[in-house]
Amino acid sequence: MKVYEYQGFPNPARIRITLAELGMTDEVEFITIDVPKGEHKQPDFVKKNPFPAVPVLELDDGTTLAECTAITEYLDHLGDGPTALTGKTAKQRAITHMMQRRAESALLDAVAAYFHHATPGLGPNVEEFQSKEWGMHQRDKAVKGMAYFDGVLKSQPFIAGDEFSMADITAITGLNFADAVGIDTPEDCTNLLAWRKKVSERPSVAG
């Protein structure tokens, strides 16, 4: 299997964490796509992902999978059955997907929209349209998202319940991205900050 990525970028980081959690990092070949130079928009890559973005997982039969949740589902089903990363029971799978989507929408994607719209983002090779107002609105959304997850973590150890899951991966990646673009986690989000410290110490996240 091959993973097309740009190391250090948030969405590829999600898959690196997933692979490490599953003990599968050595089973894939990582191929760099130079996103800041716009390589992901070149025809050869667009054939792999028509919605040009990394990461993409290419299977040995040539099938290409985009979207971190789809890639995570695939990887998590390669062993004896899904783990807590995607949820072992019907109920836990549903909760994990629900919370993952909330983390994506309220944290990671909101921070990304701030970065792409209210800052120079990835520069002129990549940014085709920018709206500072939209970016600032998304920044506010991210800060509200932090408060939401702080409340969630008041009564449970992880974002989707008792175990570390892909919802935590999305959320920690969103917070790390927020730091990188200067959106601080409010100091009164004590549950979120404690969770962040704990999750950042996991070998898969610490790197």
Ligand X SMILES: N[C@@H](CCC(=O)N[C@@H](CS)C(=O)NCC(=O)O)C(=O)O
Q: Which of 19, 53, 160, 178 binds ligand X (CB under 6 A)?
A: 53
Q: Which listed range, 4-12, 57-65, 82-90, 194-202, lies at the site for ligand X (CB under 6 A)?
A: 4-12
Q: Which is nearer to ligand X, 45 or 149 (CB)?
A: 45
* Residue nearer to ligand X on the CB measure, 100 or 150: 100
Alpha helices (H) along the chain: 10-21, 43-48, 68-76, 90-103, 109-118, 132-152, 166-180, 190-200, 203-206
Q: Label residue 179 left, alpha or beta by phi (over 0 means left) and psi (-120 to 50 means alpha).
A: alpha
Does residue number 68 form part of the binding site for ligand X (CB under 6 A)? yes
Site for ligand X in 10-49 (CB under 6 A): 10-11, 35, 40
Q: Which is nearer to ligand X, 78 or 180 (CB)?
A: 180
Give the list of residues 6+ apart from residue 83 with CB closer than 8 angstroms, or none: 22, 76
186, two tokens? 């409010």
| Of residues 79-138, those binding ligand X (CB under 6 A) | 126
Residue of 182, 113, 104 whose CA lies nearest to 149? 104
Binding site for ligand X (CB under 6 A): 9-11, 35, 40, 53-55, 67-68, 126
